[in-house]
């Protein structure tokens, strides 16, 4: 038997595999599936580089409305865990109209209570912090 004198070797190998699977599954390396405390992209975007509809939504947020959609201003729960962790009620979401879309589309601006703003064009799969 190859493990004679080292009866712990198979157990150590199994433990190493389990630990590796756990580390990879919790986002310790890029592309991992774990939750994060920052947007999936470390990039930020200048407000002036956003689509015209997003800039219009930013202006509405700054003025306090009126907003075109009933869901504008509702609490964004950050269920995806991609934005920094805060208590419920900290974030609010606003629709960025998508030309040609029959519904609200996938684009949103998320505002935080401290004034930070995030843009997503893929319905919360990724975010960019908006530099204003």
- Cβ-Cβ contacts under 8 Å for 96 (sequence gap 6 or more): 51, 53, 54, 57, 105, 107, 108, 109, 119, 121
Question: Quick check: 61 and 109 in contact, CB under 8 A?
Answer: yes
Catalytic residues: 93, 123
**Residue 117, token pair as written in the block:** 């703003």
């Amino acid at each position: 038997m190859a493990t004679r004198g080292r009866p712990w070797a198979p157990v150590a190998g199994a433990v190493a595999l389990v630990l590796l699977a756990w580390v990879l599954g919790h986002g310790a390396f890029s592309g991992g599936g774990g939750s994060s405390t920052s947007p999936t992209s470390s990039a930020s975007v200048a407000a002036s580089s956003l689509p015209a509809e997003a800039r219009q939504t930013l202006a509405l947020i700054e003025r306090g409305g009126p907003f075109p959609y009933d869901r504008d201003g509702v609490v964004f729960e950050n269920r995806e865990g991609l934005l920094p962790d805060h208590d419920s009620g900290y974030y609010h979401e606003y629709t960025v109209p998508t030309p040609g879309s029959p519904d609200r589309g996938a684009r949103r601006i998320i505002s935080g209570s401290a004034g930070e703003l995030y843009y997503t064009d893929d319905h919360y799969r990724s975010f960019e912090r908006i530099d204003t």
